[in-house]
Chains A and B, each alone.
Chain A
């Protein structure tokens, strides 16, 4: 077995409160570069909350308090000099329900480029090129190259979700966060997204929250089990499912609760 890749995203003693309710308790973890890490656990265990800390999108709601630190590429994202805009450029997010914007396919893909470049500095060929590359990478180019002006919200759900991944790519993110990206999709769609995740890993660090243990098992390299806001176990996926160290992990993956 080769040397495990270096950590890309680390947290130290991360605590988070929604008003008085503590949703994350002393979470300390290292997510390795270029692999797929899945977050599993029963509803309300804080896995989505943790994911939403990594791009600080949690802070939309004013009543959230966070302590501890999260380092991405050795920079604490809670430092006061961190630019949220830059952070979110390098940490992309895919949501539970596909949420392409109600504009054309083309504009969805170049949306990120447009907001991160001053007006007038992007040339048409640059954008065309970015669209072609991003859509090719997610396997939509063949189907959509003649429909780039189609409204993105009229696509099939699977295509919408792929488009939501494609629009992150022109920004060259370090990390892609996925919050149950397949829960709105059928079996075929789920398979397509999982294949896409395999194709993207290596270049991007992928963190995926899933309710579906089978998905965590077949689609991730490392797996983190959380319960009631605490990190219970983090190991290689095969190890976690075959030889769980913690009895609570064992009971969860056997389906005793959840």
Chain B
């Protein structure tokens, strides 16, 4: 009987305590939850709406009979302002984007991963902090400043050392892009190495591994997914970069044959021509279509990076 008495009493006091919370606290809490939810969901909303907007601007020309998708992708003829025969082929610019990115990665990957290994495994704690701050500063330099360096400093050096007729070319853009991608590769690569459990290092050391053997045989295999993600995010940065390559690559629409040739990239082309293209003209819409193409490329690069990172967590 006594148990039956206390049970409702306990429930009652619990109910009373709940009721005593002021109404504004409850509403405030709900509002806050809703607000945070909105912040989280908004990322999806923004990405989708940007894609929809870009695609909507490009769609009319994509589906018109004046336009041939095969010509767009596989022709190197880019004559958007020709009076007689307008041709919209972006192959040369795709080749430009890929060649500059490839060169940038050929420089940035060994350099960035080497720096990540050094910062994570070899240098002392004080130097490590200093280096990390400086590398982050490197990432904070605006891309137009990089472009400026490419245009003035690098191009003179390139002409002087290679004898190329112009200093703004794939080599210039590649070096500038490499310098811009290195900080990303270093900081994400360093995170990946830091995430390798210390017990693996101890296992290797206790078996008599030297530092290099530890890096080659233990750390690189253990961190390979994270390092791959670092590289792919670097690639994403390089593909999407606009201002610096616009200034440093020479802006010539042609398929390059050597690294001393000038090229134009997809991004630089959009940046340079969108302001001059009459709104709603075919030219204007094709530039948006190039945006869709870029979007697709970076989407796949990011997807690959994401899948690589997911691979780490599964372990």
CB-based contact B205/A60 at 8 Å = yes
Expressed in whole angstroms, the Cα–Cα distance for A62 and B315 within the complex equals 31
Choose, from B15-23, B136-144, B195-203, the stretch at the interface: B195-203
Expressed in whole angstroms, the Cα–Cα distance for A171 and B207 within the complex equals 9
One digit per residue, 1 when the CB lies within 8 angstroms of any chain B CB and 0 when it does not, for chain A 68-109 equals 000000000000000011111100110101011111000000
Expressed in whole angstroms, the Cα–Cα distance for A114 and B205 within the complex equals 14
CB-based contact B206/A101 at 8 Å = no
CB-based contact A164/B208 at 8 Å = no
CB-based contact A88/B207 at 8 Å = yes
A115 at the interface (CB under 8 A from B): yes
- Residue picked from B209, B221, B315, most chain A C-beta under 10 Å: B209
Expressed in whole angstroms, the Cα–Cα distance for A116 and B213 within the complex equals 10
A136 at the interface (CB under 8 A from B): no
CB-based contact A112/B217 at 8 Å = no
B82 at the interface (CB under 8 A from A): no
Expressed in whole angstroms, the Cα–Cα distance for A87 and B217 within the complex equals 20
Closest residue on chain B to residue A151 by CB atoms: B315
CB-based contact A102/B315 at 8 Å = yes
CB-based contact B199/A95 at 8 Å = yes
CB-based contact A57/B203 at 8 Å = no
CB-based contact A115/B199 at 8 Å = no
Expressed in whole angstroms, the Cα–Cα distance for A124 and B275 within the complex equals 65
B-side contacts of A86, CB under 8 Å? 208
A-side contacts of B213, CB under 8 Å? 115
Give chain B interface residues in 188-244, CB to chain A under 8 Å: 197, 199-210, 213, 217-218, 221-222
A252 at the interface (CB under 8 A from B): no
Expressed in whole angstroms, the Cα–Cα distance for A93 and B207 within the complex equals 8
Expressed in whole angstroms, the Cα–Cα distance for A164 and B202 within the complex equals 12
A-side contacts of B222, CB under 8 Å? 101-102
Set B124, B200, B207, B210: member contacting A112, Cβ < 8 A: B207
A-side contacts of B202, CB under 8 Å? 57, 60, 93, 95, 99
A-side contacts of B209, CB under 8 Å? 85, 115
Expressed in whole angstroms, the Cα–Cα distance for A85 and B204 within the complex equals 11
Give chain B interface residues in 139-161, CB to chain A under 8 Å: none
Interface size class of A (residues with CB under 8 A): 20 to 34
Closest residue on chain A to residue B199 by CB atoms: A99
Interface SS majority for chain A = helix
Closest residue on chain B to residue A93 by CB atoms: B206
CB-based contact B203/A164 at 8 Å = yes
CB-based contact B208/A99 at 8 Å = no
Set A62, A84, A89, A101: member contacting B200, Cβ < 8 A: A101
Nearest Cβ in chain A — how far from B116, in angstroms? 19
Set A92, A102, A153: member contacting B207, Cβ < 8 A: A92
A141 at the interface (CB under 8 A from B): no
Given contacts A95-B199, A115-B213, is CB(A103)–CB(B206) below 8 Å?
A: no
CB-based contact B217/A111 at 8 Å = yes
A38 at the interface (CB under 8 A from B): no
CB-based contact A114/B203 at 8 Å = no
B-side contacts of A57, CB under 8 Å? 202, 205-206
A234 at the interface (CB under 8 A from B): no
CB-based contact A84/B208 at 8 Å = yes
A55 at the interface (CB under 8 A from B): yes
Expressed in whole angstroms, the Cα–Cα distance for A34 and B76 within the complex equals 78
CB-based contact B206/A114 at 8 Å = no
CB-based contact B199/A111 at 8 Å = no
A167 at the interface (CB under 8 A from B): yes
A-side contacts of B207, CB under 8 Å? 88-89, 92, 111-112, 115, 167-168, 171
Set B124, B203, B210: member contacting A101, Cβ < 8 A: B203
CB-based contact A103/B205 at 8 Å = no
Given contacts A101-B218, A153-B315, is CB(A115)–CB(B206) below 8 Å?
A: no
B-side contacts of A102, CB under 8 Å? 200, 221-222, 315
Closest residue on chain A to residue B125 by CB atoms: A62
One digit per residue, 1 when the CB lies within 8 angstroms of any chain A CB and 0 when it does not, for chain B 118-141 equals 000000100000000000000000
CB-based contact A116/B208 at 8 Å = yes
A-side contacts of B203, CB under 8 Å? 95, 99-101, 164
Given contacts A99-B199, A101-B222, A102-B200, is CB(A88)–CB(B217) below 8 Å?
A: no
Closest residue on chain A to residue B222 by CB atoms: A102
Closest residue on chain A to residue B197 by CB atoms: A99
Q: List 29 A-B contacts (CB under 8 A).
A: A55-B206, A57-B202, A57-B205, A57-B206, A60-B201, A62-B124, A85-B208, A85-B209, A86-B208, A88-B205, A88-B206, A88-B207, A89-B208, A92-B206, A92-B207, A93-B202, A95-B203, A99-B200, A101-B221, A102-B200, A102-B221, A111-B204, A111-B217, A114-B217, A115-B213, A116-B208, A153-B315, A167-B207, A171-B208
12 more contacts with CB within 8 A, not counting A87-B208, A101-B221, A115-B204, are A60-B201, A60-B202, A88-B205, A88-B207, A97-B199, A100-B203, A101-B218, A112-B207, A115-B207, A115-B210, A168-B207, A171-B207
Q: A residues within 8 Å of B by Cβ?
A: 55, 57, 60, 62, 84-89, 92-93, 95, 97, 99-103, 111-112, 114-116, 153, 164, 167-168, 171
Q: Which 8 A-B pairs have the closest CB atoms?
A: A88-B208, A99-B199, A93-B206, A85-B208, A99-B203, A89-B208, A115-B213, A112-B207
